[in-house]
Amino acid sequence: MKYSEMNKEDLLALREELNKQYEDVKGKGISLNMSRGKPSAKQLDCSLDIIDAIKSDSLLYSEDGSDCRNYGVLTGIPEAKKLMAEMINTNPENVIVYGNSSLNVMYDQISRGYTHGYLGQTPWCKLDKIKFLCPAPGYDRHFAVTQHFGFELVTIPMTENGPDMDMVEEYVNNDPAVKGIWCVPKYSNPQGYVYSDETVKRFANLKPAAKDFRIFWDNAYSVHHLYDDNQPEILDIISLCEEAGNPDIVFEFASTSKISFPGSGVAVMAASKANLDDVKKSLTIQTIGHDKLNQLRHVRYFKNAEGIKEHMKKHAAELRPKFEATLKVLDSELGGLEIGEWTRPLGGYFISFDALEGCAKAIVAKCKEAGLTLTGAGATFPYGLDPKDSNIRIAPSFPTPEEMAQAAEIFVLCVKLVSLDKILESK
């Protein structure tokens, strides 16, 4: 029965029963953490052989003859460009291969816009106000970067097809203070949504009021499917922008952080020739080149995009039972009660849960008291402020499937208790 349809006496009796269960859980001394989307140890084990992909007696020259042990090759060795371009469905000439962190590359691009400007435009630091669009719920680290530079963060509601494009177009096409938008187009963090073809095309055909407006297209989960037989794809934003006469409005980012090793992967940025030439002006001063041995190691191990896809099936085999265990508990324990809604992603690293309005912070706090650490309520919104206090990000990747099922049981118990309190307030 829906909680909202129960009378006060039944609600109070149910709360008493659930409180006893909660006290029992607290007494078990449980300690579980699903606050971040970290790969598990078993996932990391899947990539151990990459360490042996190059050895002291290996040929350590790239295909263009460059010695990967030495300085140089600023934009990445050719075979690494090809591999990463294949992974995100673009052309090698569109990419620069960096070090291990795409977040670092995104920060650098924001910093370049701030200190030097893009393609001869006024540096953002010299302007009175900078606005940045933030589809939400979204990735907290994205929001933190632009907040760090003092930008005004504008929340854009998310839909199952991507950001509310009517609102995006209204801001971008009419307000020259709007300089960019964060996007996770495939298996978005935290909802697991995939941008529709129409959404991607509308992005490519924006008519920005600001000449230095940029789409920050974080294609972090391009090959992170959970199922072999249901793998949605997105259109190539780089080529669509070129076709629309907007070649310079997008920066695309990706990495192998959740493919090989998070601390020792390879990151990439794809953009137009004009943008890449602009980046190289400062990159030449910033570094003499990134870790080419690591780039070579990844190419020797994966060989091509097909090799990456086959490798990701190992990750899916580890992740899928955790997602399914979580969804099974949510469905069986909360289904039909109308005290929460949740997404059912086909890939990525997260499940998004929407509690009753005004309940998220209380649920997260109650979970923590019971030994379950979640991402802080509000983290999926700019400034950490969820206007409805309802969204909670669930990260199933790090615990074992058994731990994940236990964590989900604690979670639904806390959801029930906090929801009961909320409903009783109105009785």
Query: Rounded distance, CA 252 to CA 270, Å?
Result: 5
| Residue-wise pLDDT tens digits, 335-368 | 999 999 999 999 999 999 999 999 999 999 999 9
Section 256-271 average pLDDT: 96
* Contact between 143 and 376 (Cβ < 8 Å): no
Least confident of 263-267, 369-373, 398-402: 398-402
Quote the pLDDT of residue 219.
98
Section 154-183 average pLDDT: 98
Q: Residue 164 — pLDDT band, cuts 50, 70, 90?
A: very high
* Contact between 87 and 339 (Cβ < 8 Å): no
* 351-355 β-sheet, strand order: 340-342, 351-355, 391-394
The secondary structure of residue 163, as a DSSP letter, is E
Query: Rounded distance, CA 365 to CA 256, Å?
Result: 33
Q: Is the pLDDT of residue 5 over 90?
A: no
Quote the pLDDT of residue 36.
85
Quote the pLDDT of residue 4.
86
Q: Is the pLDDT of residue 386 over 90?
A: yes
Query: Rounded distance, CA 67 to CA 295, Å?
Result: 12
Q: Is the pLDDT of residue 34 over 90?
A: no
Helix (H, G, I), strand (E, B) or coil at 165: helix
Quote the mean pLDDT of the chain.
Answer: 96
Q: Is the pLDDT of residue 191 over 80?
A: yes
Q: CA neighbours within 13 Å on the CB side: how many for 208?
A: 25
Quote the pLDDT of residue 258.
96
The model's pTM: 0.96
Instruction: Report in angstroms the alpha-carbon separations of 328 from 36, 164, 246, 316, 321.
Output: 21, 30, 45, 18, 10
pLDDT above 70 covers what percent of the chain?
100
Q: Report the sign of the C-alpha dihedral through residues 141, 195, 88, 260, in that order.
A: positive
Q: Is the pLDDT of residue 333 over 90?
A: yes
Q: Are strands 372-374 and 351-355 parallel, antiparallel or unpaired?
A: unpaired
Six token digits for residue 394: 């669930």
Helix (H, G, I), strand (E, B) or coil at 99: coil
* Contact between 167 and 198 (Cβ < 8 Å): no
* Contact between 397 and 322 (Cβ < 8 Å): yes
In the chain the domains, ranked by start, together with CATH numbers, are 3-44+310-425 (3.90.1150.10), 61-303 (3.40.640.10)
Query: Rounded distance, CA 167 to CA 208, Å?
Result: 13
Query: Rounded distance, CA 244 to CA 242, Å?
Result: 5
Q: Is the pLDDT of residue 412 over 90?
A: yes
Quote the pLDDT of residue 426.
83
Give the contacts of 380 (CB within 8 A, at least 6 positions apart).
Answer: 136, 137, 138, 139, 140, 190, 352, 386, 391, 393
* Contact between 329 and 168 (Cβ < 8 Å): no
Q: What pairs with residue 251 in β-bridges?
A: 216
First to last CA, the chain: 17
Quote the pLDDT of residue 1.
77
| Residue-wise pLDDT tens digits, 43-61 | 999 999 999 999 999 999 9
Q: In 7-156, which ranges are continuous DSSP H helix? A: 8-26, 41-45, 78-88, 102-115, 140-148
What's the angle, vertex CA 250, arms to CA 248 and CA 253, rounded to 5? 135
Q: What residue type is 300 in one-letter code?
A: R
Q: CA neighbours within 13 Å on the CB side: how many for 148?
A: 12
Quote the pLDDT of residue 65.
96
Query: Rounded distance, CA 391 to CA 394, Å?
Result: 10
The secondary structure element, H or E, covering residue 36 is: none
Helix (H, G, I), strand (E, B) or coil at 24: helix
What's the angle, vertex CA 132, arms to CA 127 and CA 134, rounded to 5? 170
Section 399-421 average pLDDT: 94
What's the angle, vertex CA 409, arms to CA 406 and CA 413, rounded to 5? 145
In our burial notation (b when 16+ CB lie closer than 10 A, e otherwise), range 285-323 reads eeeebbebebbbbbbebbeebeebbebbeebbebbbbbb
What's the angle, vertex CA 363, arms to CA 358 and CA 368, rounded to 5? 145
Considering only the C-alpha atoms of the chain, give the largest distance between any 2 of them, rounded to a whole number of Å.
79
Instruction: Report in angstroms the alpha-carbon separations of 51 from 298, 308, 389.
Output: 9, 16, 44
| Residue-wise pLDDT tens digits, 57-80 | 999 999 999 999 999 999 999 999
Q: Is the pLDDT of residue 85 over 90?
A: yes
Quote the pLDDT of residue 365.
97
Section 286-301 average pLDDT: 97
